[in-house]
Chains A and B, each alone.
Chain A
């Protein structure tokens, strides 16, 4: 249909690989990329593990640019460059006034903010960098992409914690579906391996502390799960109207079939224990994409590895999509907070395109109380043309995306 929104390009920088090929191979390997935390001195801290991105030199900013750009915006620039290349998108050949950007981030430039707070406390006001605000504001990843590519259409940012980039993809869908834009660079970025952030999550009791066995720490849906592992990442998708994609001869990798959203209206950090908010969003995505439960080939779960998330998510899945195969990307990448939705959208599109659902790492002892069919041990071949990707967040935000195999 000409009103469809399609995916014509994807770029990802993650702890489990930079670029689509490495990321896909890492998914299928079922090996966790979580490792010892190296971005700051964490000796003596309760959490000393993380999912860290190793950017190759060709995607690393010059020292000059890096000094002016928070890690969060550095990661999104790398992901966006990969996405634009994958889409074979020549921005000189499109109407830039109809090209938009939406990037979600939970924390924005947290490392810049922390450094400025420390400088202020240590040395006073004169030690605070003039770039503190522009580098740390949560819309900088989006704004900096608009400057980078010269897109002058709508440019906005979304901050809904761990649902940020799923919400960003929804916002982009709406821009295209309502005719505001022809194409949108949409996704998320997070660079939360910052001591204050890691310790903050740790104080909430949300983080796994398996410091001696980093690769075993992220265990979504396992009976022995003890929390999530914080990670950094960015992913950008090139979304276009089907008509625009066809007119420029772009290859379509998937159709963005729809979305469903809800709010728990329950608690800031706890999901509703019966999963009703998540279930509402799953029912909504099926309605919006005109699909039935039986059409869903698999679900890329939010699957963080916290007791509460996995229990509530499982309840929602049992109620709405009983028996559907489920996989948890965060077992391999760790949890990149606001970037997770976009990273997992990429994983979902890749799995759908290949008909192969990646395994969930570290699922040695599936929690019998959850009643889920979690893919583990190796990739599983599935048929079917539709897949869902769940993102849930502190604040009670529930966002579920649906992607359909390209026709």
Chain B
């Protein structure tokens, strides 16, 4: 999975399951300030992504998740891809 693939997954979950407008889901968007998400929205987003990749994220790891880019990082970690290489690619 590459970054754009991961972003598409995140965008799909947010639009389909949480009803967020797809056009607002940009990599730099802040989950709380730009997208109006609360902590339960984040848990529902991550739960759905966990289900897709079949792995769990330690909940304390969510504390450092602030933007869509951070969520994409999380998806790539879950998919066990080497994050720096993916960013470089």
Contacts and interface: CB of A to CB of B under 8 A. Distances in A.
Interface of A: 62-68, 123, 126-127, 129-131, 134
Main secondary structure of the interface of A (DSSP, over half): helix
A112 B60 CA distance: 27
Given A130-B40, A131-B40, A64 B47 contact: no
Nearest to A61: B19
Interface residues of B, number: 12
A131 B20 contact: no
B47 A130 contact: yes
A130 B50 contact: no
Given A131-B40, A134-B40, A126 B19 contact: no
A64 B51 contact: no
B44 A126 contact: no
B20 A126 contact: no
A134 B43 CA distance: 14
B18 A67 contact: yes
Given A130-B44, A131-B40, A67 B17 contact: yes
The 5 A-B pairs with the shortest beta carbon distances in the complex, nearest first, are: A64-B19, A130-B43, A63-B19, A67-B19, A130-B44
A355 to B, nearest CB: 47
A129 B44 contact: yes
B19 A131 contact: no
Given A126-B50, A126-B51, A127-B51, A62 B19 contact: yes
Interface in B39-74: 40-41, 43-44, 47, 50-51, 56
A131 B18 contact: no
A67 B41 CA distance: 11
